[in-house]
Amino acid sequence: MNDIILKAENISKQYRLGVVGTGTISHDLNRWWHRIRGKEDPYLKIGDTNDRTTKGESSYVWALKAINFEVKRGEVLGIIGKNGAGKSTLLKILSRVTTPTTGEIKFGGRVASLLEVGTGFNGEMTGRENIYLNGAILGMTKKEITSKLDEIIDFSGCERYIDTPVKRYSSGMTVRLAFAVAAFLEPEILIIDEVLAVGDAEFQKKAIGKMQDISRGEGRTVLFVSHNMAAVKSLCTRAILLENGLITKEGDVEEIITHYLNLESERLVYHETDLYKLKEVAILNSEKKRVSNISNGEDFYIDIALSIKQNKPDIGFCVAIYNELHELITAINSYHINSAIGNLAVGNYNFTIKINKYILNTGIYTLNFHTNNSHGKLYNLFEGVTKLNIYDDGIRRGDNYKGEWPGKISLVPNIVIHEII
Amino acid sequence: MNNPTHDTHWLYTISPKRSAINLNFKEIWQYRDLLTLFVKRDVITAYKQTVLGPLWYLIQPLFTSITFTIIFNNLAGIDTGTVPPFLFNLAGITIWNYFTSCLTGTSNTFGANASIFGKVYFPRIITPLSLVISNLLKFGIQLLIFIVFYLYFYFQGAAISLNGFILLFPVVVVLMGTLGLGFGMIISSMVTKYRDLNYLVGFGVQLLMYISAVVYPMALVEQKMPDFVWLVKYNPLAYIIETTRYMVLNIGALPYWGLVYTFIITVAVFFMGLLLFNKTEKSFIDTV
C-alpha cells in the first residue's frame, strides 16, 4: 500500500521573459552552435528565481527550480502556493502538456489530468457526442464511456437535453456535463487544478464531495493544485508548499496551511497619516501569542497596533471578517467606544478585540480593516490584512460525526434534558 | 527512499531529453477511439448551419475548373489533346485539393488546438491524422462529382477511358495524403516559433499549384519552356497529378521513375515531419 506511484526528481523549468518571438532566431542559433560543439546550453546558466515582485537581472527565469517529491499510492497531495509560485507550471509538466527543462518524473500508473472541465467541447455537437469526445480526450476508450454513459448523464442532470447541441446549453449545464465526464474517469493518478473553482457554491460542494469519494472511497492517487485552502483542507492528506518556484515546506496539511497563511499575513499593514499610524493587525491566541491557526474552542484576540498623533483624535475603526466564500460574517466597529477614543492623547495604543470561543465555525477567514472618523466617514480601507484558520476541537462532535460542520457559526449547544412527569 | 525494485514498475517517464524518434505506437493505438471521434467531429461540424451543406465541397472544384478551362484552355490555349479541358482540369484539381486541404489543415495544428493541447495530454499526432482522414471524405465527394462528369463526357462520346492502373489509384491518394501530412507537420512545427510561415502557406500553396502540372500536362512544359522544366520535374506533386490523369483519363505516360522519386520524397518528408512534430509537441505550449 505504501509504494510510490509518482516520483519527481530535480524538476526545473525555465522560461524566457518578455516578448517571445523577437530575437529568438539568434538565441536559437547560439544554442545550436553550443550544442554541436558539445557544450551546455548557454541560456540555462543564467536566470533568476521566480519572484515576480523583484526586478530580475536576466530575461530568463526559473519558474521551478530543483523540485523533488514523491507521492504514494492512494495519497491525496495538495500543492499550494501564491499566484506565480509555480503551481501551474508544475501542473503542466505533470500532465505532460510541456516538458521540464531539467529533471525527470516517473509515473507508476495511468494518469489523467483535469486542468479544466470540458476540454475540447464542441458547441455544434450534442451532449452525448461531447461526452464521448471529451472522455476520449481525457484518455477513456469508447467502450469505457459507453459502459458509464448512463451514470454520466444521470450525474450531470442534463438528460432532457442530451441530444441537443451543447451551444444551446446554459453555461451551468455545460459545466455540469463536463464535470460529470471527468468524475467518471478512472485513472490511477488524477491531477486536478482548481477546476472546482467554477460554478456556484452548491456545485463546488458537490464537486468537492465527488472528489472526496474518488480519493477516499476508491483509493485513487490525487494531486490537487489550489490556492483555495478550504478545498485543500477537506481533500488532501498531505501538502507541499511552493514559493518562488521552490518547495519550501512539505508535510501535514494543517501545518502547511498554517504556514501558508502566516506567509500571507506577514505583509504588515503599515500606514501613516497626520492623524494616526497603523502598524499592524494581528491575531493572538488566548496566551497572547501571535498565531494564524486556532481551534474553535479557544478564545482569541484581534490586536490592532495604532499610534495616535493628535490629542483628542476623531478616529474610529472597523474589522470585517469574511469567510471563504467572501461572505461577510461580522463587522466589529468601534462606535461604542467613540468617547473613549476621543479622549486619547498622543501615544502608541493596542486595541484588542476579544472573540469568544465557539462562535466562528471552522474554516479560513480573511480580515479587512478600515479607519474612519467618529461618524463613520471612511479614512482608509485595508483589504486582507490577515488570515485565520479555525479548526475543530472535536467537542461538539461527540465521537460520531467526522464530516464538515454545516453553518456559518458554531455555537456549542447547551442541551438540557428534562424528564416530564 | 530509492527502492530499486520499484524502478522497474514505472509505466512511463517524463524527461527533457528529446530522442530523435520516440513515436509510441502503442500509445497511439490506445487513443484510436479519439482518432475516430475527431474524424466524426470534423465531419459533423464542417458545414453546420450552412444552407448548402456538403454542396460547398462541389461548388469550389466545379467553379475553379470552369475558370481554369476558360483562362488556360480557351484563352491561353493549353492543349489537352483529345480529353475535354474541363475534365482534364477537374481531375487535377480534385486530387490537388486533397493535398491542399491536408496541408493547410495540418499546418496549423498547434495554433488551432492550443487550447486543448495546453490542457490535456494525448499523442498530438492524432490531430493531424484525423484531419487527413476526415479530408478523405471531402475528397470522396469531389471524386463523385468527377465521376458524374466523367460519365457525362463519356456518353457524349469524348475519347476518354480508364487505364488498367486505376486499381492502384488508392495508392496515389495515400501518397498525396502522406505528402500533405508530412509538409503540414513540418510547417506546423516551425509555425509555433516563427508565425510568419502562416502567411507564407496561404499564397505559397497557390503558387505551388502552378508548378505542379495541375492545369497543364507535364510534356507541354518540356516542349514550351525547357529552361524551367526542372521546377516541375523536381516537384513530387507533379508526378502524382500526372499519374492520376494517366489512370483516370488514359493520357500521357506513367512516369515510373517519377513515381519512385515521389515515393522516396514522400517517405522522407513524412519522417522529417514526424521528427519535427515530435520534437515540437513536447514544449510548444511555451512558445505558441
With 50 as the cut, is the pLDDT of residue B4 above it?
no
Segment A24-41 mean pLDDT: 72
Neighbours of A249 (CB within 10 A): 17
List where CATH 2.70.50.60 sits in chain A. Answer: 267-397
Question: How many Å apart are CA A340 and CA A346, to the nearest integer?
Answer: 13
Segment B118-124 mean pLDDT: 86
C-alpha dihedral, A143 to A145 to A148 to A153, nearest 10° = -150
Task: Give a yes or no: residue B251 inside a domain.
Answer: yes
Task: Give a yes or no: residue B128 inside a domain.
Answer: yes
How many angstroms away from the CA of B48 is the closest CA of chain A?
7
The C-alpha cell at B138 is 471531402
Q: Which residue type does B102 have?
A: C
Digit-coded pLDDT (tens) for B130-164: 999 999 988 998 899 999 998 998 888 877 777 77
Residues of B in contact with A118 (CB under 8 A): none
With 70 as the cut, is the pLDDT of residue A40 above it?
no
Q: Cα B153 vs. chain centroid, distance in angstroms?
A: 28
How many angstroms away from the CA of B166 is the closest CA of chain A?
37
Residues of A in contact with B13 (CB under 8 A): 104-107
Give the helix ranges, DSSP H, for chain B. 25-30, 32-46, 55-68, 85-107, 109-112, 114-117, 126-155, 169-191, 196-210, 218-224, 229-233, 236-249, 256-281
Q: Give chain B's domain count.
A: 1
Digit-coded pLDDT (tens) for A334-371: 988 988 999 999 999 999 999 998 899 888 898 999 99
With 70 as the cut, is the pLDDT of residue A148 above it?
yes
Q: Return the SS3 of A301.
A: strand
The pTM of this model reads: 0.75
How many angstroms away from the CA of B154 is the closest CA of chain A?
41
How many angstroms away from the CA of A115 is the closest CA of chain B?
5
- Which band of pLDDT confidence, cut at 50, 70 and 90, is reported for residue B56? confident
Neighbours of A384 (CB within 10 A): 14
Task: Determine the pLDDT at residue A257.
Answer: 83
Give CATH for domain A267-397. Answer: 2.70.50.60
How many angstroms away from the CA of B25 is the closest CA of chain A?
15
Partner-chain residue, chosen from B38, B120, B194, that has the shortest CB–CB distance to A119 = B120
Task: Determine the pLDDT at residue B176.
Answer: 92
Interface contact B116-A15, CB threshold 8 A: no
Task: For B25, list phi and psi in degrees, rounded to 5.
Answer: -65, -35
Question: Pick the residue with more confidence: A31 or A287?
Answer: A287
Interface contact A113-B120, CB threshold 8 A: yes
Task: Give a yes or no: residue B8 inside a domain.
Answer: no
B1 close contact with A: CB closer than 8 A: yes
Nearest CA in chain A to B43: A125
With 70 as the cut, is the pLDDT of residue A199 above it?
no
Contact present, A378 and A370 (Cβ < 8 Å): yes
Nearest Cα neighbor of A71 from A101, A97, A105 is A105
The C-alpha cell at A192 is 486536478
Interface contact B30-A138, CB threshold 8 A: no
Pairing state between β A76-81 and A238-243: parallel
Residue A96 half-sphere exposure, CB side, CA atoms within 13 Å?
19
Question: Pick the residue with more confidence: A184 or A56?
Answer: A184
Segment B2-27 mean pLDDT: 63
Residues of B in contact with A113 (CB under 8 A): 119-121
Task: Determine the pLDDT at residue B128.
Answer: 92
With 60 as the cut, is the pLDDT of residue B171 above it?
yes
Interface contact A141-B41, CB threshold 8 A: no
Q: Which of A27, A137, A163 is the best residue to mutate to test the B interface, defined by the most B CB atoms within 10 Å of its own CB?
A: A137
Task: For A301, list phi and psi in degrees, rounded to 5.
Answer: -130, 140
Task: For A267, list phi and psi in degrees, rounded to 5.
Answer: -70, 110
How many angstroms away from the CA of A76 is the closest CA of chain B?
19
Contact present, A270 and A279 (Cβ < 8 Å): yes
List where CATH 3.40.50.300 sits in chain A. Answer: 4-10+68-260
User: Greatest CA span in chain A, whole angstroms?
Assistant: 99
How many angstroms away from the CA of A202 is the closest CA of chain B?
25
Task: Give a yes or no: residue B240 inside a domain.
Answer: yes
Question: How many Å apart are CA B258 and CA B219, to the nearest integer?
Answer: 13
Mean predicted lDDT score pLDDT of chain A = 82
Interface contact B120-A107, CB threshold 8 A: no
Task: Determine the pLDDT at residue A21.
Answer: 47
Residues of A in contact with B15 (CB under 8 A): 99-100, 103-105
Interface contact B44-A125, CB threshold 8 A: yes
Contact present, A9 and B7 (Cβ < 8 Å): no
Mean pLDDT is highest, among A186-190, A283-287, A381-385, B77-81, for A283-287
Range of the domain at B189: 28-286
Residues of A in contact with B36 (CB under 8 A): 142
Partner-chain residue, chosen from A70, A108, A116, that has the shortest CB–CB distance to B9 = A108
Interface contact B117-A109, CB threshold 8 A: no
Distance, first Cα to last Cα, chain A: 57
Task: Determine the pLDDT at residue B261.
Answer: 92
Least confident of A204-208, A373-377, B203-207, B260-264: A204-208
Task: For A221, list phi and psi in degrees, rounded to 5.
Answer: -85, 130
Interface contact A120-B283, CB threshold 8 A: no
Nearest Cα neighbor of A293 from A241, A254, A237, A330 is A254
For A311-342, b/e burial (b = at least 16 CB within 10 A) is eebebbbbbbbbbeeeeeeeeebbeeebeebe
Q: Return the SS3 of B197.
A: helix
Nearest Cα neighbor of B166 from B143, B192, B195 is B143
Nearest Cα neighbor of B129 from B105, B97, B113 is B105
With 50 as the cut, is the pLDDT of residue A47 above it?
no
Question: Pick the residue with more confidence: A215 or A257?
Answer: A257
Q: Return the SS3 of A153.
A: helix
Close Cβ partners of A394 (under 8 Å, ≥ 6 residues apart):
none
Nearest Cα neighbor of B288 from B116, B111, B86 is B111
Digit-coded pLDDT (tens) for A368-385: 999 998 888 999 888 888
Instruction: Tell me the residues of chain B between 81 and 120 that have a Cβ less than 8 Å away from chain A.
Output: 115-120
Strands (E) located in A346-377 = 347-355, 363-372
Architecture of domain A4-10+68-260: 3-Layer(aba) Sandwich (3.40)
